[in-house]
A and B are shown apart, each in its own frame.
Chain A
Amino acid sequence: NAGVMQNPRHLVRRRGQEARLRCSPMKGHSHVYWYRQLPEEGLKFMVYLQKENIIDESGMPKERFSAEFPKEGPSILRIQQVVRGDSAAYFCASSPRVVDSYEQYFGPGTRLTVT
């Protein structure tokens, strides 16, 4: 059973370009979460999605960031007009449910570098 997959693993963008990060959840998981880890800091929750719905985006920056989880295909985290402060590791996690106790399983992350 393949784990959570993320690509690309490393992404370099110049200031002002767009970054698109992809996440394929574990088989059978329909709940996806995105987290960001700035250098030397802990992981911070960004957004939680179910298929075709954003459930909780309380951790998303108000501008330039968006996320989707379409009916078919991976979840996408999109960052428009990237700035140097967006350089970070972005982790995706998935879970099979969201009631009672449940684990979130993380992918290997995408390391975004903005030059």
Chain B
Amino acid sequence: DAKTTQPPSMDCAEGRAANLPCNHSTISGNEYVYWYRQIHSQGPQYIIHGLKNNETNEMASLIITEDRKSSTLILPHATLRDTAVYYCIVRSGGGAGSYQLTFGKGTKLSVIP
């Protein structure tokens, strides 16, 4: 699976949009971009994923660049409960070795009142 690079930490004011970047310059054609978050030692929570088109759900939006080498997770109106470590993960769509999620260090997002 392709490796990802994320900033170690970010701050965001409550009520503002949080934009979390991720670089995955070695991503291959059949690899998806997934975002998870972990709120203070709870189990990781799935947020969103995409292949090449931008995606939106009730939690967030995922913007993937045209060359697919980077992406941005957008939390449109951050709240204090969004304070967590956010993980960007690249994983292939199937086959041996695709079952595991490889968690890096992620980005620690602190939402400030």
Residues on A facing B (Cβ under 8 Å): 4, 31, 33, 35, 42-45, 48, 55-56, 58-59, 89, 91, 93, 98-101, 103-109
15 contacts between A and B (CB under 8 A): A33-B99, A42-B106, A43-B38, A43-B101, A44-B103, A48-B99, A89-B41, A93-B43, A93-B101, A99-B93, A101-B49, A103-B46, A103-B49, A106-B45, A109-B43
Q: Collect the chain A residues with CB atoms within 8 Å of residue B43's CB.
A: 4, 91, 93, 106-109
| A98 pairs with B98, CB closer than 8 A | yes
Q: Collect the chain A residues with CB atoms within 8 Å of residue B101's CB.
A: 33, 35, 43, 45, 93, 104
Interface of chain B, main secondary structure: loop
| A43 pairs with B44, CB closer than 8 A | yes
| B103 pairs with A43, CB closer than 8 A | yes
CB-CB under 8 A for A56 and B99, given A42-B105, A99-B93? yes
| A56 pairs with B96, CB closer than 8 A | yes
The docked-state distance in angstroms from the alpha carbon of A49 to that of B14 is: 41
The docked-state distance in angstroms from the alpha carbon of A82 to that of B87 is: 30
CB-CB under 8 A for A105 and B99, given A42-B105, A99-B94? no
Counting chain B residues whose Cβ lies within 8 A of the other chain, the interface size class is 20 to 34
Q: Smallest distance from the beta carbon of B24 to chain A beta carbons, Å?
A: 15
Residues on B facing A (Cβ under 8 Å): 32, 34, 38, 41-46, 49, 51, 87, 93-94, 96-106
Q: Collect the chain B residues with CB atoms within 8 Å of residue A93's CB.
A: 43-44, 101
Q: Which residue of A has the minimal Cβ distance to B45? A: A106
Q: Which residue of A has the minimal Cβ distance to B85? A: A42
Q: Which residue of A has the minimal Cβ distance to B106? A: A42
| B94 pairs with A100, CB closer than 8 A | yes
Q: Collect the chain A residues with CB atoms within 8 Å of residue B94's CB.
A: 98-100
Most buried by B among A4, A42, A43, A105: A43
